[in-house]
Chain A
Amino acid sequence: MTHTLSPRTVVVLLLPLAALLALFFLWPLGLVGWSSIHDQGYTLRGYEQVLGSSLIRRVLVNTLQISVQATIFSLLLGYAIALHLASMSPARRAPYLVMVMLPFWTSILVKSYAFTVVLGDSGIVNQLLGWISGGTWHLEMMFNRIGVVVGMTNYLLPFMVLPIMASLLNQNRSLYLAAEIMGAGPLRIFLRITLPLSLPGVYAGILMSMTLSMGMYITPAVLGGRRDMMLANLIDFYTRQTLDWNLSSAIAILLLLMSGLLLWALGRIQRDGRAPA
C-alpha cells in the first residue's frame, strides 16, 4: 500500500524544513561566504593568505592526516563492534548499544579531559602496565599524535558502529545459509558476502567520521602536542582573537570545500561499486 502525494502536498510538507534550513544553515553559510570575499570592500586577501601561507598549508596537511588516521582506527574498531552487535539477539544487543551510545551522549570536552586521566604519565594505562610488569612505565600517550587519535577515535566510534551495524542487520540471512550449503567457510562468507553488502554502511561511516574529524577542535587542543593543530583551531583563533573574519571565513570555506570534495568522491566510489552488479 503506497500513498502517492500530490506535488502540492509534497511542497507544503517540505516547506517548514526548507525554511528552517534556509534560515539557520544557508543564510549563515552565505554570510561566511560573503565575509570571505568582503572586508570593507571586496577583497581576495583572505584566499590569498589561505593559498600563500605555509602555516595554513601545514595545518591543512595535519588536519587531513589526523582525520584519516582517526577514521581508519574507528573503522577497524567500529567494524568489529558492529559485527559482534549484529550477531546478537535484539534483547542482548540493547545494553551493548547503550554502551556504544553512552560516549555519544557525553560532552566532548568532558571526554577529552577524561582521557588525560587514562593516558597520562601517571594515568590508568601506565599504572596498569606498571602493576603487571612490576616496574614503572612512562609511555607517552598524551600531548602527542597518539592522544589526539585515541581521543578522536573514541568520539567517532558511534558514528561508525551505527551505520555499519544497520547495513549488517539488513543483510538477507538466507544468503549465508546458501553459501554454507555450497561449502563456503566463515572467512569466505565474510569476504564475499558480509563485507561487500555492508559497504554502504562503511561509506556512510567513513563520510561522517571524516567530515566530523576535519572540524575537530577540542580534542587536539586538550590531548595534542604542539604539532597537532587543526584547521578549526585556526578558524577559532582568527575569529575570536584577532577578529580577522575575512581570513577565518576563507579558511572555513576551504574546510567546507574539502568536505564537499570528500562527499563527492565517496559518492563516486559508491556508484562505481554498484555499477557492475
Chain B
Amino acid sequence: MKKHDLQHHSHATGVRSGTRQDGGVTRRTVLKAAAAAAGAGVAGWAPFVRAQSRTLTVTCWGGAYETAVRKAFAEPFAKEKGVGVTLVNSADLTRMKVQVQSKNVSWDVFDSIGPQIMAGSREGLWEDFDASRIDGKELVLPPGKDHVSTYFYAGGIGFDPKRFPEGKHPTTFKEFWDVARFPGRRGLRSRPNENLEMALLADGVSPDALYPLDIERAFKSLDRIKDDVRKWIETTPETVTLLATNELDFTYTYLSRVLPAQRGGQSVQMSMTQTLNSFEYLAVPKHGRNTELAMEYVAFCLRPDRQAAFCEMVEFAPNVTAALESLSAEARQRIPDMKDPNSIIIDDAWWGEHYEALQRRFTEWMLL
C-alpha cells in the first residue's frame, strides 16, 4: 500500500510526461483489473475504480502541443481533482482498438483528429457521453454521441511572401485552381478530405451548400488541377518545409505549422481569406479503468477558461465560443472569424460515412 501511495503522490505533484505507451500488462494492472471487475458487482463500478487508481492517462501529440495540453488541461485538472494525469505520446488508433478489443485499456482519454475518431466511433470503441455534462455551453461544433471537439485548426494556402508578394499568390481555392493567373508548383495532401472541399469551392460551389459533397463534380474539378500538383504531400511538416526548400510555390498547409515556422525565421505565410477548419476530438474508450474520471476530464477541457488558456499557447481556435472573450487580442487576431462564410467547417460526420470509399476512389484517381 505504501508503494501505491508514493506513486500516486508523485503523479499528483507533477504530471508525468513521456512516451510510456501501452503501459504494459504488469502484474499489478492485471490484479487491479481483476479486483475492479470483482468489486464492480459489490461496490458499484465507478467509485471503486476511482479509489483504486487515481491516475488518468490521456493520449497526446508531443512537442509544443504536449506542453500546452499539460499546462492548460492536465496540470490544473490534476491539481483540482487530486489525481495524476499522464500524457502518452505516439498513440494511434490501431493500438487503441487492440486495447478495447482485449478489454485491457491503458489510455483513458483518446485525443485525435476527425477521421480517426469517426473510424473509432464506427467500430464502437467509444463510450457514450453523458450529454448533461457538456450541455449548456455554446460550441462551434456540437458534441457527437460518443465524442466531443475541443478545438479546431485552420488550413489554407501557404506561400513564401518574399517570392510571391501581395497579388502574386492565390488567396482562395478558386485562385489556387487558376494556374494561368497564378503560375507555380502546387502541393496538396494525398487524401480526399479537404481536397474535395477545395475542389468544389474552386468550382464555384457556395460554402454554405458544400455538404453533402457533390463527389462527381469534385473529382471533375480535381482533374483540372491534377497535372499542376507537383507533390501530393504525405506528411504534415512537408507542407511548410517544401516551401522553405523552394520545391513548391503554393501548398495547402495549416496555421499551426505556419506560425511556428515564421517564429523560426522562415519566410512563409498562410492566406486567411478562405480557410478549411478541422476539429480535434476527445473520446473515452470503452472498458476503461477510469471512465468516470475521464468524463470529468473531458468536461474540464471544455471549460471556457481552460479553452482560452490552451488556445493562448498554441495556434488553435477554441470550440467553446465563450472562450474567445478572454483571449488576448493577439490570439484573437489569428483565429478565423467563424461567422465569415469563407471559414468552412469540415464535416467529419459526413466523412465518417464516406471516408473509406472515397479514399479508395481518390487513390485510384491519383494512380491514373
Is the Cβ of A242 less than 8 Å from the Cβ of B367? Answer: no
Residues of A within 8 A of B190 (CB): 226
- Chain A interface: which of B78-86, B91-99, B329-337? B91-99
CA–CA, A251 and B336, complex, Å: 42
CA–CA, A244 and B210, complex, Å: 28
Q: List 23 A-B contacts (CB under 8 A).
A: A53-B360, A54-B364, A58-B367, A116-B242, A116-B245, A120-B246, A121-B185, A122-B246, A143-B230, A221-B234, A222-B234, A222-B235, A226-B366, A226-B367, A227-B366, A229-B363, A237-B359, A240-B92, A240-B94, A241-B116, A242-B119, A243-B97, A243-B119
Is the Cβ of B246 less than 8 Å from the Cβ of A121? Answer: yes
Is the Cβ of A242 less than 8 Å from the Cβ of B246? Answer: no
Is the Cβ of A55 less than 8 Å from the Cβ of B247? Answer: no
CA–CA, A237 and B116, complex, Å: 12
Is the Cβ of B247 less than 8 Å from the Cβ of A226? Answer: no
CA–CA, A241 and B123, complex, Å: 12
Shortest distance in angstroms between A272's beta carbon and chain B's nearest beta carbon? Answer: 37
Which residues 232-277 in A have Cβ within 8 Å of B in the complex? 234, 237, 239-244
Shortest distance in angstroms between B29's beta carbon and chain A's nearest beta carbon? Answer: 21
Is the Cβ of A239 less than 8 Å from the Cβ of B232? Answer: no
CA–CA, A32 and B116, complex, Å: 22
Residues of B within 8 A of A142 (CB): 247
Is the Cβ of A241 less than 8 Å from the Cβ of B367? Answer: no
Shortest distance in angstroms between A221's beta carbon and chain B's nearest beta carbon? Answer: 4
CA–CA, A62 and B366, complex, Å: 13
Interface size in chain B (residues, C-beta < 8 A): 30
Is A59 interfacial (CB 8 A cutoff)? yes
Other A-B pairs beyond A222-B234, A243-B93, 8, CB < 8 Å: A53-B360, A59-B367, A117-B245, A120-B246, A143-B231, A222-B235, A222-B238, A229-B367
Is the Cβ of A226 less than 8 Å from the Cβ of B364? Answer: no
Residue B245 contacts which of A53, A58, A120, A229 (CB distance < 8 angstroms)? A120
Shortest distance in angstroms between A115's beta carbon and chain B's nearest beta carbon? Answer: 12
List A residues at the B interface (Cβ < 8 Å).
Answer: 53-55, 58-59, 62, 116-117, 120-122, 142-143, 221-222, 225-227, 229, 234, 237, 239-244
Is the Cβ of B245 less than 8 Å from the Cβ of A227? Answer: no
CA–CA, A241 and B366, complex, Å: 18
* Closest A residue by C-beta to B98: A245
Residues of A within 8 A of B246 (CB): 120-122
* Closest B residue by C-beta to A221: B234
Given the known inter-chain contacts A55-B363, A226-B367, please indicate yes or no for A242 contacting B355, CB distance below 8 A.
yes
CA–CA, A227 and B367, complex, Å: 4
Is the Cβ of A122 less than 8 Å from the Cβ of B245? Answer: yes
Shortest distance in angstroms between A86's beta carbon and chain B's nearest beta carbon? Answer: 39
Is B135 interfacial (CB 8 A cutoff)? no
Which residues 220-244 in B have Cβ within 8 Å of A in the complex? 229-232, 234-235, 238, 242
Is the Cβ of B94 less than 8 Å from the Cβ of A239? Answer: yes
Shortest distance in angstroms between B183's beta carbon and chain A's nearest beta carbon? Answer: 14
Residues of B within 8 A of A225 (CB): 231-232
Shortest distance in angstroms between A142's beta carbon and chain B's nearest beta carbon? Answer: 7
Residues of A within 8 A of B130 (CB): none
Is B356 interfacial (CB 8 A cutoff)? yes
Residues of A within 8 A of B364 (CB): 54-55, 58
Is the Cβ of B115 less than 8 Å from the Cβ of A241? Answer: yes
CA–CA, A237 and B234, complex, Å: 12
Residues of A within 8 A of B238 (CB): 222
